[in-house]
């Protein structure tokens, strides 16, 4: 165990050989208007997107995406082709060592931006091959005058306190999700306010003291978000869980709620980032818990012994440091911890995670504006509801080619 934690620090270099400079482009931040008919770029610095104009129109089009190859080695537990820290809760995933090569994360996206005077209508569609090597939709939405409708990131997400990692998605305990939704966003200087109604994506466990449950969706989730520049953001969610009385005679409901906060503090070439999430019925917001397995790993609610529906209390906290060694090399190191309050005396919950801590350290080289390679070590410390403790670790090497 000590050797694994030592490896977390060993991957961070004390010095690096001089590296070639990254080609610099003028960048238009994702979602911002471009100048119709003129060359421009859309996206973060490591994912530039060239745009072109459809002749005779005020519409700019951008195609993009990337091919990503991941080489994974699991020392203790098979964490899946996309790192799932809660997979370590299942003894069926135990291994003496396993190598996996995958390109599932590769994706393709298509963006349009059409100008109407000073106003802009935008559309975005993106897909990838996670989780089953089939083409799966990630995003499909349209925006106009602050109004958004479609499928995309939950309004509860903040994108401020998450470190840059090779693992797909954020560390566990960072709010995630891409529900169908309607949203309105208002910007005033450095302040951004947004409100959304989102398709509820939750799981009620069948392993609770009260037995199996027939889920029923009555109301959408309500999410509110405030962000100040790229430094601080806070969001809130209110959601309802209910059972389906027409099928089983069950007629129960309960309310879930939560608060999420993130911040980033630049300190020269190093940035300190933090994340906090606390509330009840937030299991569905844990990053990259496969939806089909959520009720058996991080349920939002369960039936208690009296037949009442109970939301599961959940708390998480995360902290990370990002450091840019020079124009081409960067690293991040961080840890996050999640605690979910499942009943200790429920037989069906004994093997589920009570607490899980996920740590990582990486070294990433932006070879040029279109290619990135890197290596990352990931460590999971997990305690089951029955008190058993397990640890799992993974070494990941990745090569990513943007287009």
Residue whose C-alpha is closest to residue 273's, from 233, 328, 327, 315: 233
E strands, 16-162, in order: 51-53, 59-74, 98-102, 107-116, 119-128, 136-144, 147-151
Phi then psi for residue 294, to 5 deg, are: -60, -40
**Tokens representing 228?**
């100040």
pLDDT of residue 21: 34
Within 8 A by CB and 6+ apart from 155, the residues are 181, 183, 194, 195, 196, 198, 223, 224, 225, 235
Per-residue pLDDT at 45: 45
29, 96, 249 from 330: Cα distances, Å: 21, 32, 57
Distance between CA 396 and CA 343 in Å, rounded?
Answer: 35
pLDDT averaged per 10 residues, the chain (length 403): 53 43 41 46 51 79 90 96 90 95 94 85 92 91 96 94 93 92 96 96 85 82 96 96 74 93 96 97 76 73 89 96 96 97 90 94 93 97 95 97 87
Centre a 10 Å sphere on the Cβ of residue 46 and count the other Cβ atoms it contains: 17
Rounded CA separation 256/279 (Å)? 7
pLDDT of residue 269: 96
pLDDT at position 291, please?
57
What pTM did the predictor assign? 0.86
Q: What is residue 95's predicted lDDT score, i.e. its pLDDT?
A: 96
- In 3D space, the residue among 231, 84, 110, 226 whose CA is nearest the CA of residue 157 turns out to be 226
């Amino acid at each position: 165990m000590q050797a694994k934690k030592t490896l977390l620090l060993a991957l961070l270099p004390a010095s690096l050989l001089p590296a070639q400079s990254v080609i610099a482009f003028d960048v238009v931040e994702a979602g911002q208007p471009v100048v119709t008919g003129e060359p421009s770029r859309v996206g973060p610095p490591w994912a530039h997107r060239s745009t072109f104009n459809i002749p005779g129109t005020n519409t700019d089009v951008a195609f993009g995406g990337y091919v990503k190859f991941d080489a994974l080695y699991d020392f203790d537990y098979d964490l899946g082709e996309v790192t799932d820290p809660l997979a370590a809760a299942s003894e069926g995933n135990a291994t003496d060592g396993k190598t996996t090569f995958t390109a599932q994360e590769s994706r393709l996206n298509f963006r349009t931006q059409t100008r109407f005077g000073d106003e802009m209508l935008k559309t975005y569609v993106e897909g990838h091959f996670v989780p089953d090597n089939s083409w799966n939709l990630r995003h499909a939405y349209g925006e106009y005058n602050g109004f958004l409708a479609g499928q995309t990131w939950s309004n509860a997400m903040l994108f401020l306190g998450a470190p840059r990692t090779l693992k797909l998605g954020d560390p566990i305990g960072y709010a995630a999700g891409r529900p169908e939704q309607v949203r309105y966003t208002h910007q005033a200087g450095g302040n951004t306010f947004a409100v959304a109604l989102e398709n509820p994506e939750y799981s009620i466990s069948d392993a609770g003291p009260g037995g199996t449950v027939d889920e029923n969706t009555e109301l959408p989730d309500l999410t509110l978000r405030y962000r100040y520049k790229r430094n601080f953001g806070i969001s809130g969610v209110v959601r309802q869980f209910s059972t389906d009385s027409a099928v089983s005679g069950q007629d129960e409901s309960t309310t879930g709620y939560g608060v999420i906060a993130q911040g980033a503090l630049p300190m020269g070439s190093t940035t300190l980032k933090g994340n906090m999430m606390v509330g009840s019925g937030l299991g569905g917001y844990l990053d990259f818990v496969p939806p089909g397995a959520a009720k058996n790993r991080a349920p939002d609610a369960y039936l208690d012994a009296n037949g009442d529906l109970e939301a599961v209390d959940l708390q998480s906290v995360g902290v990370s440091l990002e450091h840019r060694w020079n124009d081409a090399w960067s690293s991040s190191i961080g840890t996050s911890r999640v605690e979910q309050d499942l009943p200790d005396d429920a037989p069906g919950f004994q093997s589920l995670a009570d607490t899980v801590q996920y740590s990582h350290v990486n070294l990433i080289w932006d070879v040029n504006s279109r290619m990135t390679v890197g290596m990352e070590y990931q460590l999971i410390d997990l305690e089951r509801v029955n008190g058993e403790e397990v640890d799992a670790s993974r070494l990941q090497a990745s090569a990513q080619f943007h287009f």
